[in-house]
Amino acid sequence: AQTVTQSQPEMSVQEAETVTLSCTYDTSESDYYLFWYKQPPSRQMILVIRQEAYKQQNATENRFSVNFQKAAKSFSLKISDSQLGDAAMYFCAYRRSNTGKLIFGQGTTLQVKP
Amino acid sequence: DSGVTQTPKHLITATGQRVTLRCSPRSGDLSVYWYQQSLDQGLQFLIQYYNGEERAKGNILERFSAQQFPDLHSELNLSSLELGDSALYFCASTTAPGTGELFFGEGSRLTVL
């Protein structure tokens, strides 16, 4: 069974600094999707970034980028120039195929200090 | 706005009662997923429907049931409620082929007293 592990329950970063959130996963599949979702205090689940496993290039969305290491089954999220609005719970998620369910990690709570 | 609509947003009820949570997926999405988010357990997959048929089942209790109707909206029925059922219940939808992500509603917060 596929699993997703986020080993950092809490992280903090100074405003304008850079922070990296870690995620590892376990799968025997070769084709899959990986995601980072943000859950602010409003509790809405917001997609931050996605990565298709067949793509070697790391995904980037503005200040958010990932370091995808397929062989190591690692998928970390880097947030550059952190802003107060980035404070939230961040979930790493895995999806085996375009028709499968999302499997979530336990989440990392990110605090941004002014 | 994700395009996924969930009602009610908040619900308070007593132990032993039954509630129904409703989800309208994004226009054109055939797949609907239900997730439960408790305070100490993250997001747990409950069940998936595709075009009216159950596609996958996760950690869903026997007291819980769901269905997807011909108009593609879905309902999650929770019965014989217990204190531990208090949680945020999310519905998500997606289409295939697509870009892979699930689009989440705002959730229904259930409090069982």
Condensed to tens digits (0 to 9), the pLDDT of residues B85-99 reads 999 999 999 987 666
* Contact (CB<8Å) B56/A100: yes
* Contact (CB<8Å) A43/B92: no
Q: What is the mean pLDDT of residues B30-41?
A: 89
Strand-pairing partners, residue B43, are B37
Tokens describing residue B2: 């994700």
Choose among B56, B58, B55, B48: nearest CA to B25.
B48
Contacts of B101 in chain A (CB under 8 A): 33, 35, 47, 50
pLDDT at B25: 96
Percent of chain A with pLDDT over 70: 99
pLDDT of A55 strictly over 70 = yes
β-strand pairing of A19-21 with B5-7: unpaired
pLDDT of A70 strictly over 80 = yes
pLDDT at B98: 65
Q: What is the mean pLDDT of chain A?
A: 94
Per-residue b or e along B38-64, where b marks 16 or more CB atoms closer than 10 Å to that residue's CB: eeeebbbbbbbbbeeeebeeeebeeeb
Q: What is the mean pLDDT of residues B55-73?
A: 94
pLDDT at A79: 98
Contacts of B50 in chain A (CB under 8 A): 99
- Helix and strand numbers, DSSP H then E, in chain B: 0, 11
Q: What is the mean pLDDT of residues B76-84?
A: 97
B65 in reach of chain A (CB within 8 A)? no
Chain A residues near any Cβ of chain B (below 8 Å):
33, 35, 37, 42-45, 47, 50, 52, 91, 95, 98-107
User: Is residue A84 exposed (0-12), middle (13-18) or buried (19+ Cβ within 10 Å)?
Assistant: exposed
Q: What is the mean pLDDT of residues B34-55?
A: 90
pLDDT at B95: 82
From the list B45, B58, B96, the residue facing A98 with the nearest CB is B96
Percent of chain B with pLDDT over 90: 85
